[in-house]
Amino acid sequence: MALTVHRGVSIVLIIIAIFYLYLAFQLPSFMNTVIDADTIPKITGFLLIILSVLYFFMPVKETEVEKEKRTEAKNDWHYILGMFIMTFLYITLLEVSGFLVTSIVFIFVCTRMLGYKKWKTNSIVSVLVPLFLYLSFTFLLNVRLPTGFMPF
């Protein structure tokens, strides 16, 4: 009984379901209703466990195509990770430094990181697009975007 990919996945799902059920069983009960706030979550949690267990014992064999899809990122995983880290920083700094500054830096650095080398085009786009978005949101749509420490 080897631990194949699909068995690993089903174990993860079972853990998620158990955690969810644990929380569901802690929900307070309300008045005297039979179908309470915890009914549907409990059903959902148990169903997921049942399906995951079924899936665990299913004779699933990973096809070549599936394997390729799963491992397609093997040469690029650091780009993907870099992208997520960049986005994380972008979000964290959004209200601190304001939409304009953060977006300009984000677009420029990200585009460069992913391998675009024409720095002139890159600078123009990374300034113009956020500026256009900022102006149209603020003045045309009346939606306030964070200004941060900048006056606008």
Partner 1 sequence: MKKLVSVSASSFLTLMMLSACSDTGSEEASSDQGEWSPTNNLEFVAPAGAGGGWDTTARMAAQAFEEAGIVDVGIGVINREGGGGAVGWSYIANQAGDPHYLFAASPPLLLIPLNGQSEYSYEDFTPIANVIADFGAFAVRDDAPWQDLNELFEDMQDESSSITVVGESAPGSMDHVQFVNIAKAAGVDPGSITYVSAQDGSAMTNLLNGSVDVYSTGVTETIEQVRAGEVRVLAVTAEERLEGDTVEDYPTAIEQGIDEVFVNWRGFFGPPDMTEAEVEYYVNAFTELNESEEWDAVRERYSWDEYFMVGEEYKQFLEEQNEEMRLLLEELDLYGESE
Partner 2 sequence: MIDFSGILSGLQMAISLEGILFVFIGVFVGTFIGLMPGLGPISAIAIMIPMTYNMDPTIALVMMAGVYYGAIFGGSTSSILLNAPGVAGTVATSFDGYPMAQQGKAGKALAIAAIAAFIGGTVSVVFLMLFAPVLSSVAIQFGPPEYFALMLLGLTAIASLSSGSTIKALMSALLGIMVVTIGIDAQTGTVRFTFGSANLLEGIDFLVIALGIFALAEVCALIINRQKTTFNAKTIGSLKITKEDFKEMVGPMSRQSVLGFIIGVLPGAGATIASFIGYTTEKRFAKNPDEFGKGSIKGLTAPETANNAATSGAFVPLLSLGIPGSGTTAVMLGALLVLNVQPGPLLMTENPTLFWGVIMSMYIGNIFLLILNLPLIPYISKILAIPRPMLISLVVVFCIIGVYSISFSIFDLYVLLAFGVIGYLMRMFQFPAAPFILAFILGGMLEQSFRQAMTISGNDVSIFISNPLSATLLALAAVSFLFPLWQSYRNKKNNNQTLSM
* Per CB under 8 A, 26 contacts partner 1: no
Q: Taking CB within 5 to 8 Å according to partner kind, which of partner 1, partner 2, none is near residue 25?
A: none
CB neighbours of residue 45 within 10 Å: 21
* Per CB under 8 A, 11 contacts partner 2: no
Q: Taking CB within 5 to 8 Å according to partner kind, which of partner 1, partner 2, none is near residue 92?
A: partner 2
Here the tokens at position 139 are 């003045």
Per CB under 8 A, which of residues 79..108 are in contact with partner 2? 79-80, 83-84, 87-88, 90-92, 94-95, 99, 103, 106-107
Q: Taking CB within 5 to 8 Å according to partner kind, which of partner 2, partner 1, none is near residue 18?
A: none
Q: Which of 20, 75, 82 is nearest to 52 (CA)?
A: 20
Distances (CA, A) of 57 to 48, 77, 86, 147: 14, 31, 40, 55
Q: Which of 91, 149, 92, 104 is nearest to 131 (CA)?
A: 104
Identify which of residues 123 and 147 has a Cβ nearer to partner 1 in the complex.
147
The Cα 35–Cα 32 span in angstroms is 9
* Per CB under 8 A, 152 contacts partner 1: yes
Q: Which residues bind partner 1 (CB under 8 A)?
A: 28, 30-32, 138-139, 142, 144, 151-152
